[in-house]
Structure 1
Amino acid sequence: MSYPHLTAVASLQSALTETEFDALIVLASDFNHPELSTLAVVLQTAAQVDQRIGQQLASLPCSLVPGQRLILAPIGTLDRDYDDVRSYADAAKQAIQVAKDMGAKAPLLWVEPQQSPLYQQAAAVSYLAMCQALWQPLEGREVVGEEKLEPVQRIGLCGIAAEQAEELMAIEAGRRLARDLAGTEPERMSALNFAAYCQEAFAGSAVQVEVVTDIATLQRDYPLMMAVARSSLAVKRHHPAVIRLSYNPDGAVAQTLLLAGKGLVYDTGGADLKVGGSMAGMSRDKGGGAAVAGFMLAIAGLKPQGIKVVAEIGAVRNSIGSDAFVPDEVLTSHAGVRVRIGNTDAEGRLVLADLLSHLREQALNEVTPQIFSIATLTGHAARAVGPYTALVENGPARLLQLASTLQQQGDIWGDPCEISRSRREDFQFIQAKSAAEDVLSCNNAASSVTVRGHQFPMAFLVEASGLSAHGQHQAKPIPYLHLDIAGSGVDGGDWIHGKPSAAPILALLASTLSS
């Protein structure tokens, strides 16, 4: 699993004559910047005959830069109320594609610095955006070859230290794993193959991997998840798995993070079958589990001190068949909560509820625990907040301002989030309708047309997992934050063909490491 190696470069001037680079990419709002003085005459001459200079992306031959390839990528205006660091990311994605098309394999990148704190990570964001643009699907790389599909092997970044370069590569390793897991078709990345890919990725790392595949054990310990898996059990290669990942730092633990990831490797909708062409793209319903795995691989590379991290991913296929679970069934969760099924296409919350119940039990014995769930959970999140991660927190998390911190860091790193409140109407919505159940999983309409369609599922997760006993006014409060990435999980919201974005890894990492 490769990606462009990042080389730290002290300054632009020191690297212009370096033979290890074969192009220069300039990301700037002002190409008259003092650090570009060596290129001033070239830029002025080019601007006289090419109106694109400074207005839109342009490339031109230049004997003064590596490889004689000069790519000028304007980032546009940055002083409007709504501008953010994604302007750098957008320009970087376009520029690296041009560099690739020109035949460059080791471009040098100079990013115009800004004084505003909003753009303090502009250079890092630009490198990571280039890696996002260069990524090609795993199944394509395995057939055609990585070197052919991803010829850019190295990126030099001006103005960063070697230590920061190593950190950014660790982050990109995690994001690449997340894209591979989320973006790969359902047979190559079945539940069992998902687990095997994780085992391979974490081999020899600081993260320990445990995979549970025994059906009897899963049925006992993850009853809601196994209801989702029930119809898949007839096909051995479609069997489910729970992947448990653990990172223990050297020295004392000051903070414990526990993450649950939805890994629906394919979602037919089950008995509530997806129709009208809406099933295409459902091999990417594992984006939450993929993001959790990617976060853990980044943690393995960064090795933060004082932070313990434990994750559980439920990898499962929601198949249609004679043994599929159906609406009206009443199932008992791992936490002992009786759940009436309202719609089998609301399967992700069932998987998460059991995972969260296990993490809740562990949290009671950990140092300052915080629990997170990450999932491509609802179409409503994409409808409500567009290409942003939706954050819904419980009372203890709100007191710690977990969502606010995540949102602030996401803005700085180009991984933006929107905050939603958990309200009493959400808990009223999933209240039992009879003595036969304790909670209702959902209504029987699509979340995108349901009022508070991405907020009420968090209420269900709290109730079905037993986290309802750990609110801010109770004896043992546990902060819990739910992240719905249905809108942010792929570039452009195209769940069929768009590239997985690896959201919300950057926001979560930055929030974790800044605390």
Structure 2
Amino acid sequence: MSYPQLDALPELTQALTDPSYDALIVLASNFAHPELNFLQPQLEQAAERDQRVGQQLTAVLCPDVPGQRLILAPVGSLDRDYDDVRSFADAAKGAIALAKEMGARAPLVWTEPVESAVFQQAAAVSYLAMCQALWQPLEGREVVGEEKLEPVVKLGFCGLSATEANELMAIEAGRRLARDLAGTEPERMSALNFAAYCQQAFAGSAVQVEVVTDVPTLQRDYPLMMAVARSSLAVKRHHPAVIRLSYTPEGAIAQTLLLAGKGLVYDTGGADLKVGGSMAGMSRDKGGGAAVAGIMMALAGLKPQGIKVVAEIGAVRNSIGSDAFVPDEIITSHAGVRVRIGNTDAEGRLVLADLLSHLREQALNEVTPQLFSIATLTGHAARSVGPYTALVENGPARSLKLAERVQQQGDLWGDPCEISRSRREDFQFIQAKTSAEDVLSCNNAASSVTVRGHQFPMAFLVEASGLSSHGQAQNKPIPYLHLDIAGSGVDGSDWIHGKPSAAPVLALLMASLGS
């Protein structure tokens, strides 16, 4: 899995004579910055010929820069209340796409230094945004070749240290893995292939991998997940898997993170079949599991001290067939909770509930545990908060301001989130309707037209996983934060063709590492 090497450069003037670079990209709101004084005569001449210069993304022939290619990418205003670092990310994506079209293979990049703390990571975010723009789907790379589809091999960034460059490349390795897993079609990235791709990616790394595929074992230990998988068992290549990933640092452990990832490699909706064209794009329903794997890959490169991370990904296909599970069934979860199925298209919460139950049990024996679930769970999240990750926390997490910390880091790193509250109405919504069950998985309407459609599933996860016994006022409280990436998981919210965004890898990683 290649991606552009990041070179940290002390200053622009020294790098201009380096023959290994073949273009200069300038990301700025003000092209009259003192560091760009050497360009002013050329910029003035160019502006006389092309009024877009300084106003829109433009390319200028300039003999004083590498390859004589000068790309000017305005970031727009930076002083409005609502401006954030994504202004640099958006400009960076457009600029690197233009550089690639022009034939550049190793651009030099200068980002305007901005005093505001809001833009303190502008250079880092710009590099990561360029990598996002350059990424091409795994299936295309395997057929056409990475060298042809992803020809940019190096990016030189002014203002970054060598340490920062190495850390950013480790982070990008994780984001790239997340995009590959999330964005690949359902046969190439079936549940078993998802597991195999993880094994290949983590081979020889600091992350240990265990894959469970034995059907009787999964049926015993993950009964809700295996209800979702039931119809897929008729096709051997569609069999499910649980992928367990663990990172243990050298030395003392001060914090333990436990991550559950929804890995629906394809979601037909099951018996509640997706109709009217809404099934297309459902190979991306594994974005939560992909993000979990991406976080673990970043950790494999960063090797942080003092933090242990354990993850479980439920990779499964929600197929339709004669053995499909149906609404009204009552299935006992791993935590011993009787769940009445309300809608088979609300399958992700069933997978997560069993994963969370396993991680809950492990959390009781870990140092300062925090529990997270990541999923493309509800259309309501996308409807409610648009292209942002929705955060819903339990009482212990709220007391730690866990969601607030994730949101703050997401803002700094261009991976923004919105915080939602877990309320009593959410728990009332999923209360048992008869003595036959303990909890209802959902109603039978789409989440996007259901009141509190992305908040109440978190209440279900708490109840079905046994986390209801670990609230703020109870004996062994466990902080738990649910992250719904249904709106943030792809660029531009195009679930059929959009590039996977690798959300919320940056926000959660930076919040957890204390950056």
Give the superposition deviation at 1:429. 0.1
Partner of 1:314: 314
Counterpart AA for 1:5 = Q
Stretch of structure 1 that moved more, 160-169 or 185-194: 160-169
Give the superposition deviation at 1:488. 0.1
**Alpha carbon RMSD of aligned pairs, Å?**
0.5
Partner of 2:41: 41
Give the superposition deviation at 1:109. 0.4
Partner of 1:282: 282
Give the superposition deviation at 1:159. 1.2
Partner of 2:437: 437
Question: For residues 198 and 63 of structure 2, what CA distance do their matches in structure 1 show?
Answer: 46
For 1:115-154, list aligned pairs within 5 A. 115-154=115-154
Partner of 2:204: 204
Percent same amino acid among aligned pairs?
84
Partner of 1:54: 54
Partner of 2:216: 216
For 1:96-495, list aligned pairs within 5 A. 96-495=96-495
Give the superposition deviation at 1:267. 0.2
Give the superposition deviation at 1:299. 0.6
Give the superposition deviation at 1:91. 0.3
Q: Structure 1: state its 5+ residue gaps.
A: none
Counterpart AA for 1:442 = C
| CA distances 1:358-406 after superposition (whole Å, capped 9, x unpaired) | 0000000000000000000000000000000000000000000000000
| CA distances 1:453-482 after superposition (whole Å, capped 9, x unpaired) | 000000000000000000000000000000
Question: For residues 30 and 264 of structure 2, what CA distance do their matches in structure 1 show?
Answer: 46
Question: For residues 359 and 9 of structure 1, what CA distance do their matches in structure 2 show?
Answer: 43
Give the superposition deviation at 1:513. 1.3
| CA distances 1:154-200 after superposition (whole Å, capped 9, x unpaired) | 10001111111000000000000000000000000000000000000
Counterpart AA for 1:387 = P
Give the superposition deviation at 1:47. 1.6
Q: Secondary structure at the match of 1:271?
A: coil
Q: Secondary structure at the match of 1:409?
A: helix
Q: Secondary structure at the match of 2:24?
A: strand
Question: For residues 128 and 456 of structure 1, what CA distance do their matches in structure 2 show?
Answer: 34
Give the superposition deviation at 1:54. 1.1
Give TM-score scaled by structure 1 length. 1.00
Q: Secondary structure at the match of 1:259?
A: strand
Question: For residues 370 and 10 of structure 1, what CA distance do their matches in structure 2 show?
Answer: 39
Partner of 1:512: 512
Question: For residues 314 and 230 of structure 2, what CA distance do their matches in structure 1 show?
Answer: 14
Q: Secondary structure at the match of 1:308?
A: strand
For 1:78-93, list aligned pairs within 5 A. 78-93=78-93
| CA distances 1:112-153 after superposition (whole Å, capped 9, x unpaired) | 010000000000000000000000000000000001011101
Question: For residues 460 and 237 of structure 2, what CA distance do their matches in structure 1 show?
Answer: 31
Give the superposition deviation at 1:39. 1.1
Counterpart AA for 1:108 = L
Counterpart AA for 2:301 = G
Question: For residues 44 and 473 of structure 1, what CA distance do their matches in structure 2 show?
Answer: 67
Give the superposition deviation at 1:86. 0.3
Give the superposition deviation at 1:48. 2.0
Question: For residues 277 and 33 of structure 2, what CA distance do their matches in structure 1 show?
Answer: 51
Q: Structure 2: state its 5+ residue gaps.
A: none
Give the superposition deviation at 1:44. 1.7
Give the superposition deviation at 1:332. 0.2
Q: Secondary structure at the match of 1:18?
A: coil
Question: For residues 116 and 176 of structure 1, what CA distance do their matches in structure 2 show?
Answer: 29
Question: For residues 393 and 97 of structure 1, what CA distance do their matches in structure 2 show?
Answer: 38
Counterpart AA for 2:436 = A
Q: Secondary structure at the match of 2:387?
A: coil
Give the superposition deviation at 1:49. 1.9
Question: For residues 45 and 250 of structure 1, what CA distance do their matches in structure 2 show?
Answer: 58
Give TM-score scaled by structure 2 length. 1.00
Q: Secondary structure at the match of 1:285?
A: helix
Partner of 1:13: 13
Counterpart AA for 2:431 = Q
Question: For residues 5 and 429 of structure 1, what CA distance do their matches in structure 2 show?
Answer: 50
Question: For residues 422 and 446 of structure 2, what CA distance do their matches in structure 1 show?
Answer: 20
Give the superposition deviation at 1:355. 0.1
Counterpart AA for 2:475 = A
Counterpart AA for 1:313 = I
